[in-house]
């Protein structure tokens, strides 16, 4: 392992164009045919696999630093726990999208559409929030508490993403009305909500709006994590970790 570290290179910090993940896409009337639907399912399955593979490692890191209360590990704990939330939200949005596409019974599809809206609303609310109250409790706000420890490029990317997330939060209600009736189980309102016409491609574009948002944040978190790893590598190369 020590030889691997000796030969290791600092992880790159990528200059992402985050605005590409926030472009508004409008329904053009096209519906997927059977072959396109199965191809799309295959992409979803691959995406779920790729992102879920990292969850055990995230869990391991959080467990290994649970009792470490120094400044460095507090930074690491905040970052990794936000990463855990982000990855789970991305995966969950893809899983429910997959079963929405696969559903061949009318009621199943209406049910899954409603539950998808809960994930969309709650996911974005916890990530960034919709007002001052929810933003103070958001995962994005948590990141701001450790931002001062990171280089200028990370701080600039955080500001760029903050502007995009702020704009995104105001583009719609993020389906709060559907989320409310699905969560509170008001039978009359729930039935009315589920009776609304299902346009499959339009529903999927709503789901991808959340996924793309979280993917942008995931890219940013990868950059932050690279900075943390580079600090550890630098400490090792200076001999500070050789005896640990």
pLDDT tens sequence across 20-70: 999 887 767 778 788 888 999 999 999 999 999 999 999 999 999 999 988
- pLDDT score at 30: 75
**Spatial CA neighbour of 86 closest among 23, 128, 130:** 128
Q: How many domains does the chain have?
A: 1
175 in a structural domain: yes
**Spatial CA neighbour of 156 closest among 10, 22, 24, 16:** 16
- pLDDT score at 240: 65
Whole-structure pTM value = 0.89
Q: Name the 3-class secondary structure at 173.
A: coil
21 in a structural domain: no
65 in a structural domain: yes
Q: Distances in Å between the alpha carbon of 97 and those of 31, 78, 112, 113, 171?
A: 15, 29, 8, 8, 22
Longest CA span, the chain: 67
- pLDDT score at 234: 76
200-237 helix and 71-102 helix, angle to the nearest 10 degrees: 160
- pLDDT score at 2: 42
Cβ-proximal residues to 44 (8 Å cutoff; 6+ apart), any chain:
94, 97, 98, 101
Task: Give the integer Cα–Cα distance in Å for 120 and 173.
Answer: 10
On the CB side of 148, how many CA atoms lie within 13 Å of its CA?
2
Task: Name residues of the chain where pLDDT drops below 50.
Answer: 1-6, 242-244
Q: Within a 10 A sphere around the Cβ of 80, how many other Cβ atoms?
A: 21
6 in a structural domain: no
23 in a structural domain: no
Which residues of the chain form beta strands (DSSP E)? none
Supply the range of the domain harboring residue 160. Answer: 33-237
11 in a structural domain: no
- pLDDT score at 5: 39
10 in a structural domain: no
105 in a structural domain: yes
């Amino acid at each position: 392992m020590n030889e691997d570290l000796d030969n290791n290179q600092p992880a790159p910090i990528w200059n992402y164009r985050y605005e590409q993940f926030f472009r508004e896409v409008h329904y053009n009337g096209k519906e997927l045919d059977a072959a396109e639907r199965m191809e799309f399912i295959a992409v979803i399955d691959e995406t779920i696999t790729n992102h879920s593979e990292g969850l055990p490692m995230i869990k391991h890191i959080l467990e290994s630093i649970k009792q470490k209360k120094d400044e460095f590990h507090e930074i690491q704990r905040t970052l990794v726990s936000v990463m855990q939330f982000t990855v789970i939200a991305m995966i969950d949005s893809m899983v429910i999208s997959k079963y929405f596409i696969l559903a061949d019974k009318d009621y199943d599809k209406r049910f899954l559409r409603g539950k998808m809206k809960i994930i969309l609303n709650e996911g974005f609310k916890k990530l960034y929030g919709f007002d001052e109250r929810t933003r103070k409790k958001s995962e994005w706000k948590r990141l701001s508490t450790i931002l001062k420890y990171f280089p200028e490029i990370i701080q600039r990317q955080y500001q760029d993403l903050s502007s995009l997330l702020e704009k995104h939060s105001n583009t719609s209600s993020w389906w709060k009305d559907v989320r409310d009736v699905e969560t509170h189980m008001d039978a009359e309102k729930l039935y009315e909500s589920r009776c609304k016409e299902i346009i499959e491609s339009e529903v999927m574009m709503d789901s991808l709006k959340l996924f793309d948002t979280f993917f942008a944040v995931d890219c940013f978190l990868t950059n932050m994590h690279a900075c943390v790893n580079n600090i550890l590598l630098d400490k090792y190369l200076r001999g500070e970790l050789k005896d640990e």
